[in-house]
Amino acid sequence: MKNDTHVDEYLKRIEVNRPINGPDKEYLIRLHIGHLTHIPFETFDLIDLKQLNISPDYIFDRIVRQNRGGVCYQMNGLFSLILKSLNYNVQLIPCGVYSVDDNYFYDDHSHLSLCVTLDNGERILCDVGFSRDFLTPLFFRTDCIQYATNGFFRLTKTDDGLSYQLEKGFLNKDEKISLPSLSPPQTQIVDINPECIKWTISYRFPIDFLERSTKLEDFQGTCSYIIQSPDIILNHCTICRIHTCQPFIGAYTILGKEFCESKIENGMENQTRSPLSADDDQEFKKLLKETFNLIIERKIELMGPSKSNN
């Protein structure tokens, strides 16, 4: 960012104080949770305005000063700039989103995630711009199952050895497990049979991503595709999602014309869905402000099916 004032404005937006001990893992976790619980993933502008601006000045003004959210390039783009200003070592990762419906991976620049290397050499996977986010950052390990406070995750290498693949899962309905409650929240490695978990692929990214020196502007060429392609659900389905830690672990989501409340406990997810209308403009804007910490002045029309790949 341009100066410390920008960092302070961002920290105020996510209600996190300045670090006491410098750029350590504990503060990174606080930032990650703060972003996901205060700034929503949202697709409103992609649908009716057909806009996707990822310039640093724009995304800072949009998310921090205008109380908006964004999609992956904007959310993780801003997060990476803030982390760098706080002296974290950050590498941008080009990712290919997996389409569950079509059993297909999109282009390697269809998503952006982040790798943070701490001073002790430990690598951490961060992502505040994906609708199937992990609430707390993941260990960059391929030999374990991780519970990231809001679900199980595993990072594996693909059979061809060219990519890492990220999957998210919840316990099968007939399985039971007691997970320790950690305060403050943090990712923990768990000893569990992976067959007890129903897995969903999120995305993959190149094994050699650290050698690529990826920059935010490298994703500019994909923006028009994200906006226009009929294959991309983000440009024709209303998605707005924000995570919560209190009073429960979970998320609130607008998906198409539905409002969904997800609660996660002991590795299981329970959802409550209800129909949603934007006809009452004032009531809908009240919902956006009070539930999603989001301010949008214009009239919003809800669009799309109740499914999402990103």
Give per-residue pLDDT as tens, 43-97: 999 999 999 999 999 999 999 999 999 999 999 999 999 999 999 999 999 999 9
**Residues of the chain with pLDDT > 90: what percent?**
84
The pair of structure tokens assigned to 10 is 């961002």
Helix (H, G, I), strand (E, B) or coil at 142: coil
Across 55-70, b (16+ Cβ under 10 Å) vs e yields ebeebbebbbeebbbb
Q: What is the pTM of this model?
A: 0.95
The pair of structure tokens assigned to 106 is 């999109």
Taking the C-alpha atoms of residue 109 and residue 95, their distance in angstroms, rounded to an integer, is: 6
CATH class, range 4-292: alpha beta
Query: Mean per-residue pLDDT for 254-283?
Result: 93
pLDDT of residue 2: 56
Q: Are 202 and 98 in contact (CB under 8 A)?
A: yes
Domain ranges of the chain: 4-292
